[in-house]
Amino acid sequence: MLLRSEDLSSISGLTLANVFMIDDQIVCVSNDLQGDWKMYRMDSETFSVKELRVNFHDVPADCQTCIQYPVVAHNGKAYAWSVIELKFVEGEVEGDNFHWRMMPTPDPPVETEGWVRYSEGTTSTFTIIVSDDIFDGTQNSIFQFDLSSKIWSHRHVLSHSIRSQNATNKYIWTLKGKVHIITKNGMHLVSDCEMDNWTFVCKNDKSCAECRVPKHFVQNQDLFKFYSDESDNVALYRFDSASYSWIKVYGIGNRMSEYICPCDTDVVVCGTRVFLFNSTGRDHFELRQLRVFELAPTLFDCAQSVVLHNDKLKKIGEQVLPRSLRSTLSRDTSGDVKIPMKVRTTLSTRQCEEH
């Protein structure tokens, strides 16, 4: 299942505040010590990294921080929600530039003041949960925005039992007509899009000594999670919507556990491939390693994986294979932009919220 492992030390100055997919490009968001936002694109085939010039056209300075939070990618554009303007910020790649503009947005069903949590951006439906008081959830409600029709759903006020679990949610997805919420205390809640009836699926055990929630992601409208047990044995699980249970798909073993921890891993999905971005740790989010998993490996993928894990075979391959195939044995660094190392590193706002 493991397709390749990449050393990203050549761009070790890159600190991630967010990462998302637009078409087949991986887009990284970084914030330097001067407070300036920088963005980079990584080719999903060669993994070469190039800087994108960031242009905030009509986006006020106090709204620009929204690009470090979950972003929805839809029809080649990226959408982030500004809690200050109560509007979406729309972004797109044009050549070597990334343009952000305010998008005309209908007024939401309720004022989104207070605590706002929203979807990880895996579908064209953007889900928002609002709570004026994160401790008792007195005004906890949920509503959705369809990026295709540009229409808000009506407001759903959550019951007290759901509010108590929902006040500190970590992930939200809308999949196959169901809304999935993973809370910070490990609860998995599922409801239909009318939010009338909620089902408590399970309460997860800790994923590692420090974390409470395993890393979740969505591929082809299916919900997956990497889970590490008490012996640090990592496995991939898929949620079965028929039985409302998690089914083990693939056992990875304990040698990968340090790379599949919610503390320091971001996940993006491109087709059947899953990219895990590993940093130096929760205290300084500098990008260090990239792991690529193939959920539907071909025969070539399997052969390539064997070569990549054998130094002797890899060296022979680099000598005898044509250039078109040699590039698959190691990351293409020819187009990289060297990112200066920071004098110090800071914890991103997003991570502060999560911990």
pLDDT at 164 over 80: no
Q: What would the two tokens of residue 108 be?
A: 């939401």
Q: What is the pLDDT of residue 45?
A: 77
Of 118-127, 137-146, 183-192, give the lowest mean pLDDT range.
118-127
pLDDT at 134 over 50: no
**pTM to 2 decimals?**
0.73
Q: What is the pLDDT of residue 176?
A: 78
Q: What is the pLDDT of residue 94?
A: 94
Q: What is the pLDDT of residue 143?
A: 78
User: What is the DSSP secondary structure assignment for residue 74, as one 8-state letter?
Assistant: E
Q: What is the pLDDT of residue 249?
A: 82
Give the confidence band of 352 by pLDDT, cuts at 50, 70, 90. very low
For 289-322, give the DSSP string.
EEEEEESS--HHHHHHHHHHT-HHHHHHHHHHS-
Highest-scoring range by mean pLDDT, 73-82, 97-106, 124-133, 205-214: 97-106
Q: What is the pLDDT of residue 13?
A: 62
Q: What span, in angstroms and rounded, lies between the C-alpha atoms of 40 and 70? A: 17
Strands 49-56 and 97-103: parallel
Average pLDDT over residues 84-103: 93
pLDDT at 150 over 80: yes
pLDDT at 92 over 90: yes
pLDDT at 48 over 90: no
Residue ranges in the chain assigned as alpha helix (H): 160-166, 299-308, 311-320, 323-326, 349-354
Between these two residues, 3 and 341, which has the higher pLDDT value?
3
Q: What is the pLDDT of residue 102?
A: 96
Highest-scoring range by mean pLDDT, 63-72, 88-97, 137-146, 311-320: 88-97
Between these two residues, 212 and 301, which has the higher pLDDT value?
301
pLDDT, averaged across the chain: 72
Between these two residues, 58 and 339, which has the higher pLDDT value?
58
Of 63-77, 131-145, 177-191, 215-229, give the lowest mean pLDDT range.
131-145
Q: What is the largest CA-CA distance in the chain?
A: 67
Q: How far apart, in Å, do the first and last CA atoms of the chain sit? A: 31
Rg (alpha carbons) of the chain, rounded to whole number: 21
Q: What span, in angstroms and rounded, lies between the C-alpha atoms of 109 and 128? A: 11
pLDDT at 344 over 50: no
Q: What is the pLDDT of residue 137?
A: 46
Q: Torsion angle of alpha carbons 290, 20, 199, 162, nearest 10°? A: 110
Contact 188, 202 (CB under 8 A): yes
Q: What is the pLDDT of residue 113?
A: 53
pLDDT at 245 over 70: yes
Of 24-33, 126-135, 228-237, give the lowest mean pLDDT range.
126-135
Q: What is the pLDDT of residue 55?
A: 95
Task: Express as a percent the part of the chain with pLDDT over 90.
Answer: 8
Q: What is the pLDDT of residue 333?
A: 57
Q: What is the pLDDT of residue 188?
A: 82
Domain limits of the chain? 2-105+204-354
**Burial class of 334 by CB neighbour count within 10 A (0 to 12, 13 to 18, 19+):** exposed
